[in-house]
Structure 1
Amino acid sequence: MKRLRNWRDRRGNISIVMAGGLTMLTAAGALGVDTASLFLERRRVQGIADAAAMAAASAPLTGEDEARAVLAFPANGGTSLVAVIPGRYTADPTIAADARFQTDWIAPDAARVTVEGGADTIFGRALGLGPRVAISATATAARIDTAAISIGTRFAALDGGVANAVLSGLAGSELSLSVMDYNALSSADVDLLTWLDALHGKADLDVGTFGELIAADIRLSDAISALADTTASLHAAQVLRALAGRVADRNVRLRDVIDLGPLAESSSADPKRPITVGALSLLREAILIGGEARALTLDLSPAIPGLTSTRYRLEIGERTNATPWLAVGRARQVTVRTAQARLLLDTRLLNAPLGLGTIRVPIVAELASAEGHLSQVDCSRGTGPAATIDVVPSLGRVAIADIDEGSFSQFTLPLVLRRATVAALPLVSATALADIRLEGTTAQAVRFNADDIAAGRTKSVHTNNIVGGVAASLVRSVDLRVSVLGLGLSAGVLTSTLGNTLSVAAPALDALLDTTLSLAGLQLGEADVKVDALRCGVPLLVG
């Protein structure tokens, strides 16, 4: 009975439960202390990784030095650098998040940094944890560097009558440009976004961003009037306001020649970071895209010594894949091209020798697109901002020849060349043929440093086929044939004299070619490119 009473005696049970509970509570408290310590250390290490990644992304090629500088701060003690990997980051939601960063040691714009820290355990050893727990963290940061580049922006300075005739022909109405007017326009600049801001007000369209504005149909006169309001040149502004009232009443869609890239979402200009563009370049491109037919036939009387008259015929095709003339974007994502074109320049020379009368020189050119590809934007702290454009000049062919003009505007049909009659008298006939093919040129890297960009310099890449000018190269390779009947003159003498006459006239012909083509944004056997602006981004965490 006594044993049964002992089993029923419950005195002291609470003490046993309390002893067991206190042990568990003490263990849980100890684990909580260590867990909190590890949690705080993880946050600290991740913050250091974030800071180191943003520092490394500011100069990815020297990112390891930048990251070590962050870890050198006293507050970041106890943390070591595990790895710094430079790369390129593509902010494309269609790409899986873990695939947007790709290692790139050549032209990086991002960096991935891994650091390691750790925390000492207090009570964790009793629970099987080591005296110190290592904690690592990884962060990725990218810097969105952009540049604005354009192609075909150089203008030859020549007789204002030629400029007036060509631009008037492209505009479809008489523009009445004088030499001074032309020079004022060619030397005036505007800020691209400030121009679009002014255009937004004039067009009175219900759009919110610049991207929506350039996608809309805008009156050509409004575009030119906005140019007048934007340029700082008083003479150019006066000329542009007059032109706005003379151009044909038609619409333009600026998206066909301008790609704003990441700036398409902007709705206001940044005066501190302008994108400087030539007023005449913008005027020309607006006129070209506003034309229903990009064709022009003119009879010119250039004020150039040695030339008497010229028949000028230009056919401008579409840009390949609607590639713009000016584009804004990141390295490897921006390409600009000129349009395809065909040109016939049928010129008469003054002062023909030996009574040959008027000498005719028909120059035919067929041009594929010149191309500029933004290959690198360099915002490294040591050298200052710079950009590199890979340039392929305008390829095709140029000839002294006659053609079938009926198929001249059919870009899908090849041009068929035949010997051109350059002089014709009752008893004397002279023919000529020269054909230079502009081909086999690979892309050439053209670097623009900070001074080049600030000065708005244009740089050119040439083919090796043309040396010392287009016409001069043609004359050097021309095949002349002279037929003489009954004049008592040697065909060899006439051939030599005719060749010398063409050589003397070659510089004048080159001047005419340069001017008439540059007004259409084209060059023979070359490409002119320019970095209109460069913006170095601020490093941001991206993963």
Structure 2
Amino acid sequence: MLGDLKANFTVMTALCAPFALALAAFAIDEGSIYVERREAQSLVDLAAITAASNINNIEAAVVATLGDNGMPGIVVQKAGQTIAPALGKTVVSVTAGRYSPESSLGVDKRFEAGKTPHNAVHVTLKKIPARYFASSLIPTPVIGTQAVASVAPQAMFSVGSRLLSVNGGILNALLGKLLGGNISLSVMDYNALIAADVNLLSFFDALAVQLQLTGVSYSEVLASKATVGQIATAMADVSPVGSTSKLALQTIASRTTSTVKIPLNHLVDLGSMGQLGLGQQSAGFSVDASAMGMLTTAAALANGSKQVELNLGATIPGLTSTTLAIAIGEPAQFSPWLTIGEKGAVVRTAQTRIKLVASVGIGNSNLGGGTTLLAVNLPLHIEVAYAEAKLTDISCPTGRPDSLEVSIAARPGVASLHLAASDADSSPIAFADFSNPQSFSNAQIAAVRLLLIPLLSVNGSAALDITNNDPTTLTFNSTEIANKTIKTASTKNLTQSLTTSLVDELSLSINALGLGLLNVTALLGTVKPAVIAALNAVTAPVDELVYNVLAALGVHVGEADVRVMGATCGRSVLVQ
């Protein structure tokens, strides 16, 4: 019986051995496929992270990452292609798009392929795994893995115009009109404001206290409104104790009578940092902004579209009287002066009109031959469309923060200049209405007396358009950002003084109606050189006046000044 039992076990073992071997082969291959799939997923995750960090060269980044980690035979499948994997051939597809972390979106809706600006990469991989024993027992499997990685490079930048020289009297008069108060700051005060920066998050913390907002995010503060007095007070609260800029801001806050409340999101856009709660600080980069830039932008917004008129009297060298009218439009699409954003973010200045009417001092009025030059007038009109700065790229070529580069495409505003009379000269409402273009005609440039003829009018006009305003790419490196470097994009067709350009184009004529015997050509030959000389003598102070006023409003004819306050390439992370 015992011998019979041994024989039974032998027979059973012989019968079961093939099944056991097949199961063992299957288990070994399945285990191998599982491990290989885990390895493939890890490599796809790494490739997606690397590609997101190199968003402008995603395919090369994926291929290099997979190849460097031993993935064989990599073939990139383009959009619209279908490539089957094979032994020794790994098929990958790489798609750039945009990822939104909004919790209201379903997981499958958060990545949008192709949407710009790109901030994420979707990588898929298909390959045939190695099989050692069970290739004849199971169908050929395909390993499929995918990953989405996102990165959020951001930069903080502004557009405007810097004050190269400070005229305290003009700035006091301008701010006083804009803010409705008696502003009396010194040149030292203004220079301190120009040099000072304010931390935006600390500023909004202080402003929230005045607005009685608690337990909210910075975005909720930006959704509210504040007066310029409240804004100046908050800026003073976060300025260094005892600093000249702090005292200047306190003076402005105390003397501002304007009660107009401006939308804070028309002043600043904090981007994703707006999601932070009050009191929290950004870990990416510091968020400091120009105190002077914020103050003057707020003042312009508070003024709305009303005309501001300054009577400067005889304070401008060479001019016996000067009046200046200014109208400020709303920035295009309510663009803020400063923003924190990703590639594609845009900031713009406001559209601005200036009308300067001045009487020019005359040296020797006797032109000979019984001709006397009685008066020379300068009716100058300037309209500047919005300047624009667009964030086009943020990169860290070496992966280190010190290799940071930020590219901004800056476009100066189109400008039209006229030495002429405007149909809006007698209507402040029409002058401030940017929806209706002004029309221009000859103005009285000079008055002349000839012998017994008491008054002859010398009329004329000139026009100049600055339209060569193709975008200029300005690149800032990490050192320039840290040093608060300001870079300028300039038009290419304004090569000389603003007023000189107009005077050179001035066409004059003499109104001699009813004086048929008068030799107008000869008289004009005598008068015109004297008029042109008188106008040329005041081009420098007039230019300085115009540039100072426009720069105080963040505008410049033919130029756009850009500053990048901070930036980060961000960290690429897996999101799906």
| Secondary structure in structure 2 of the residue aligned to 1:124 | coil
Q: Output the CA distance in 1 between the equivalents of 2:209 and 2:32.
A: 59
- TM-score, scaled relative to structure 2: 0.80
Q: Output the CA distance in 2 between the equivalents of 1:384 and 1:294.
A: 46
Match of 2:323 in 1: 311
Superimposed CA distance per residue, residues 448-503 of structure 1 (whole angstroms, 9 cap, x where no aligned partner):
23333222222222334432132121111111335699999943132112112212
Match of 1:152 in 2: 160
RMSD: 3.6
Call closer, same or farther: CA 1:89–1:153 in 2, change over 3 Å.
farther
| Secondary structure in structure 2 of the residue aligned to 1:471 | helix
Match of 1:393 in 2: 412
| Secondary structure in structure 1 of the residue aligned to 2:323 | strand
How do 1:496-535 residues align onto structure 2 when only pairs under 5 Å count?
Answer: 496-535=529-568
**Mean alpha-carbon deviation: is it higher for 94-103 or for 427-436?**
94-103
Match of 2:356 in 1: 345
How do 1:245-264 residues align onto structure 2 when only pairs under 5 Å count?
Answer: 245-248=254-257, 249-264=259-274
Cα drift, residue 161 of structure 1: 0.4
Match of 1:185 in 2: 193
Superimposed CA distance per residue, residues 51-70 of structure 1 (whole angstroms, 9 cap, x where no aligned partner):
23323433345667766775
Cα drift, residue 225 of structure 1: 1.5
Cα drift, residue 237 of structure 1: 0.6
Superimposed CA distance per residue, residues 8-29 of structure 1 (whole angstroms, 9 cap, x where no aligned partner):
xxxx999999987886676455
Cα drift, residue 536 of structure 1: 1.3
Question: Structure 2 stretches of 5 or more lacking a match?
Answer: 1-6, 77-91, 367-372, 449-453
Is 1:362 the counterpart of 2:379 in the alignment?
yes
| Secondary structure in structure 1 of the residue aligned to 2:502 | helix
Match of 1:466 in 2: 494
Q: Output the CA distance in 1 between the equivalents of 2:431 and 2:339.
A: 31
Cα drift, residue 116 of structure 1: 7.2
How do 1:57-96 residues align onto structure 2 when only pairs under 5 Å count?
Answer: 57-61=52-56, 76-77=69-70, 82-83=75-76, 88-92=96-100
Could you tell me which amino acid in structure 1 is paired with residue 163 of structure 2? F
Q: Conserved in 2, the CA contact under 8 Å of 1:418 and 1:433?
A: yes
Percent of paired sites with the same residue: 29
**Mean alpha-carbon deviation: is it higher for 373-382 or for 341-350?**
373-382
Match of 2:222 in 1: 214
**Mean alpha-carbon deviation: is it higher for 457-466 or for 90-99?**
90-99
Q: Output the CA distance in 1 between the equivalents of 2:223 and 2:12.
A: 78
Match of 2:79 in 1: none
Q: Output the CA distance in 2 between the equivalents of 1:177 and 1:60.
A: 49
Call closer, same or farther: CA 1:98–1:193 in 2, change over 3 Å.
closer
Match of 1:541 in 2: 574
Q: Output the CA distance in 1 between the equivalents of 2:36 and 2:311.
A: 81
**Mean alpha-carbon deviation: is it higher for 277-286 or for 349-358?**
349-358
Q: Output the CA distance in 2 between the equivalents of 1:20 and 1:212.
A: 77
Q: Conserved in 2, the CA contact under 8 Å of 1:190 and 1:227?
A: yes
In the alignment, which of 368, 375, 380 is matched to residue 397 of structure 2? Answer: 380
Cα drift, residue 108 of structure 1: 6.8
Superimposed CA distance per residue, residues 181-203 of structure 1 (whole angstroms, 9 cap, x where no aligned partner):
22221221122223223323343
How do 1:232-271 residues align onto structure 2 when only pairs under 5 Å count?
Answer: 232=240, 234-248=243-257, 249-267=259-277, 268-270=280-282
**Mean alpha-carbon deviation: is it higher for 157-166 or for 50-59?**
50-59
Call closer, same or farther: CA 1:98–1:322 in 2, change over 3 Å.
closer
Could you tell me which amino acid in structure 2 is paired with residue 43 of structure 1? R
Call closer, same or farther: CA 1:64–1:410 in 2, change over 3 Å.
closer
Match of 1:3 in 2: none
Cα drift, residue 165 of structure 1: 0.4
Call closer, same or farther: CA 1:507–1:78 in 2, change over 3 Å.
closer
In the alignment, which of 201, 207, 228 is matched to residue 199 of structure 1? Answer: 207
Is 1:273 the counterpart of 2:285 in the alignment?
yes
Cα drift, residue 540 of structure 1: 1.5
Is 1:414 the counterpart of 2:437 in the alignment?
yes
Match of 2:370 in 1: none
**Mean alpha-carbon deviation: is it higher for 166-175 or for 249-258?**
249-258
Match of 1:42 in 2: 37
Q: Conserved in 2, the CA contact under 8 Å of 1:341 and 1:368?
A: yes
Call closer, same or farther: CA 1:331–1:202 in 2, change over 3 Å.
same
| Secondary structure in structure 2 of the residue aligned to 1:286 | helix
Is 1:225 the counterpart of 2:236 in the alignment?
no
Cα drift, residue 345 of structure 1: 1.1
Call closer, same or farther: CA 1:337–1:502 in 2, change over 3 Å.
same
Match of 2:303 in 1: 291
Q: Output the CA distance in 2 between the equivalents of 1:185 and 1:391.
A: 25
Cα drift, residue 222 of structure 1: 2.5
Q: Output the CA distance in 2 between the equivalents of 1:281 and 1:16.
A: 95
Could you tell me which amino acid in structure 2 is paired with residue 90 of structure 1? R
| Secondary structure in structure 1 of the residue aligned to 2:47 | helix
Q: Output the CA distance in 1 between the equivalents of 2:93 and 2:288.
A: 35
In the alignment, which of 478, 483, 488 is matched to residue 455 of structure 1? Answer: 483
Match of 2:88 in 1: none
Q: Output the CA distance in 1 between the equivalents of 2:570 and 2:172.
A: 42
Superimposed CA distance per residue, residues 405-430 of structure 1 (whole angstroms, 9 cap, x where no aligned partner):
22322222221212121222533432
Q: Conserved in 2, the CA contact under 8 Å of 1:326 and 1:336?
A: yes
Cα drift, residue 288 of structure 1: 2.2
**Mean alpha-carbon deviation: is it higher for 392-401 or for 382-391?**
382-391
Q: Output the CA distance in 2 between the equivalents of 1:377 and 1:189.
A: 23
Cα drift, residue 521 of structure 1: 1.6
Q: Output the CA distance in 1 between the equivalents of 2:121 and 2:111.
A: 14
Call closer, same or farther: CA 1:20–1:360 in 2, change over 3 Å.
farther
Could you tell me which amino acid in structure 2 is paired with residue 280 of structure 1? M
Q: Conserved in 1, the CA contact under 8 Å of 2:217 and 2:275?
A: yes
Q: Output the CA distance in 2 between the equivalents of 1:225 and 1:271.
A: 27
Call closer, same or farther: CA 1:128–1:278 in 2, change over 3 Å.
closer
Cα drift, residue 43 of structure 1: 1.3
Could you tell me which amino acid in structure 2 is paired with residue 361 of structure 1? L
Q: Conserved in 1, the CA contact under 8 Å of 2:129 and 2:142?
A: yes
Call closer, same or farther: CA 1:19–1:288 in 2, change over 3 Å.
farther
Call closer, same or farther: CA 1:188–1:308 in 2, change over 3 Å.
farther
